[in-house]
Homo-oligomer: A and B are copies of this chain.
Amino acid sequence: MSQVKLQAPAGEMLRLLEELAAFSAPGPGVTRLLYTPEWSGAQHFLQEKMLGAGLETRTDAVGNVFGRLSGTGGHDKVILTGSHIDTVVHGGKYDGAYGVAAAVTALGYLRDTFGPPRRTLEAVSFCEEEGSRFPVTFWGSGHVTGLYSGGGAADCTDLEGITLREAMAACGYPASGAAALRGDIGAYVELHIEQGLVLEQAALQIGVVQAIAGQRRYTARIGGAAGHAGTTPMGLRRDALAGAAEMLLWLERAAQDAGDPLVATAGRLEAYPGTPNVIPGEVHFTLDIRHSEAGILEGFCRAAADAFAAVARRRGLTLALEETLATAPAPMDPELAGRLERLCVEQGLTHRRMVSGAGHDAQLFAPRCPAAMIFVPSRGGISHAPEEYSSPEELAAGLNLLTALLYELAYL
């Protein structure tokens, strides 16, 4: 156990965050989409910063940037830490960039203070996680972990019709990212803003992530009978919107009854024909359901499908439920989570265990190696918006905790 006094240079990290925010397309907030000039600029800038911090740097076949601090102990497995450099359109300064800036700062500080580690440390800036430009997500960590092997996804297009393959070629990357696959990752640690209200409402400094929730998405299509709002008595209606309303209320109540961390959301709803004096004959809505335990997630989704079918049957409506996405829950490594909790106590940081309802690069590592995630509070729970904010003190606390964990893992 480390009793060394660690004091990573938070000022350097905050400056780095500000510098990264300047690599943005015009408009409010930060817009840094995969393989755009601002994205290239940010990755080149980071590579220089890594060099300046005394790290060996390299870019892989899809544009992930690594900064390596080689270990002296003869271990063949690397401790990897970082996050993603891409943003949503008009996003904030912290989502992804915080974990990258902290990783570079922590490794530079550890090298300067303690010299080379026993085990190799690497900072990483993943090229893509958000799915904002192309309809793929985890393009960076997905290649490193083997989710993507260089196949079909490269033919998808952005809003301007440019294929992912063309965008890669324009940045000098090969058509296949297969060479980005790594078999030498021994642990993955990611520091990230919470993007939710939990820590702020509980007035805590740190969230130790115990699992990243699995996710199911569905599109529900409800068919009823359109009709004249004046001439169709209530008893002769098959109102698709009233049926949808009953389903949505069931969903909300059932999710509340299931308790945290279950969340269920209908984010998009469209009623047709959408005319004030016509009874809606058709309604489409989306479902997004998440939980950290596969069995509970599966059971809830099955119960929702059954409940919706019962509502539809009783009302004489048709129901088609199409699954559009399914990701498994990703448990974080309990041993690493335990270390983080102990380190919080040692550093006097208020903290709690929690589930991440949002997806993160760490979920791709969790099935392959011990993975850990640290959250810091997000003001108002706001993310993916220019108003995204975490205070310098909160960001510094997260950096210190990350640095302490990396020190234990690599130096002791």
Q: Which residues of A contact B (CB under 8 A)?
A: 194-198, 201, 213, 215, 217, 227-236, 239, 241-242, 244-246, 248-249, 252, 255-256, 260-269, 271, 274-280, 286, 288, 290, 356-359, 381, 383-384
> Bound complex: CA of A236 vs CA of B241, how far in Å?
26
Give every chain B residue within 8 A of A198 (Cβ-Cβ).
231, 233, 236
> Bound complex: CA of A273 vs CA of B246, how far in Å?
21
Say yes or no: A269-B267 contact (C-beta < 8 A), given A229-B290, A384-B228: no
> Bound complex: CA of A194 vs CA of B231, how far in Å?
8
3 pairs of A and B residues whose beta carbons are closest in the complex: A196-B231, A230-B357, A229-B265
Say yes or no: A274-B279 contact (C-beta < 8 A), given A230-B357, A290-B229: no
Say yes or no: A248-B242 contact (C-beta < 8 A), given A228-B195, A268-B276: yes
- Copies of this chain, whole number: 2
> Bound complex: CA of A162 vs CA of B34, how far in Å?
47
Give every chain B residue within 8 A of A230 (Cβ-Cβ).
195-196, 213, 215, 263, 288, 290, 356-359
> Bound complex: CA of A358 vs CA of B232, how far in Å?
9
Say yes or no: A381-B269 contact (C-beta < 8 A), given A233-B263, A236-B201, A242-B249: no
Using CB atoms, name the residue of chain B closest to A246: B249
Q: Are B278 and A267 in contact (CB under 8 A)?
A: yes
Q: Are B229 and A288 in contact (CB under 8 A)?
A: yes
> Bound complex: CA of A90 vs CA of B306, how far in Å?
39
Give every chain B residue within 8 A of A231 (Cβ-Cβ).
194-198, 356-358, 381, 383
Using CB atoms, name the residue of chain B closest to A324: B276
Give every chain B residue within 8 A of A290 (Cβ-Cβ).
229-230
> Bound complex: CA of A286 vs CA of B383, how far in Å?
31
Q: Are B275 and A268 in contact (CB under 8 A)?
A: yes
Give every chain B residue within 8 A of A248 (Cβ-Cβ).
241-242, 245
> Bound complex: CA of A199 vs CA of B278, how far in Å?
19
> Smallest Cβ distance from A328 to chain B, in angstroms?
15
Give every chain B residue within 8 A of A260 (Cβ-Cβ).
233-235
Using CB atoms, name the residue of chain B closest to A378: B231
Q: Are A217 and B265 in contact (CB under 8 A)?
A: no
Q: Pick 14 A–B contacts, CB within 8 A, sort by A.
A: A197-B231, A198-B236, A227-B381, A228-B383, A228-B384, A231-B383, A233-B260, A233-B357, A234-B252, A242-B248, A245-B245, A246-B249, A269-B269, A269-B274
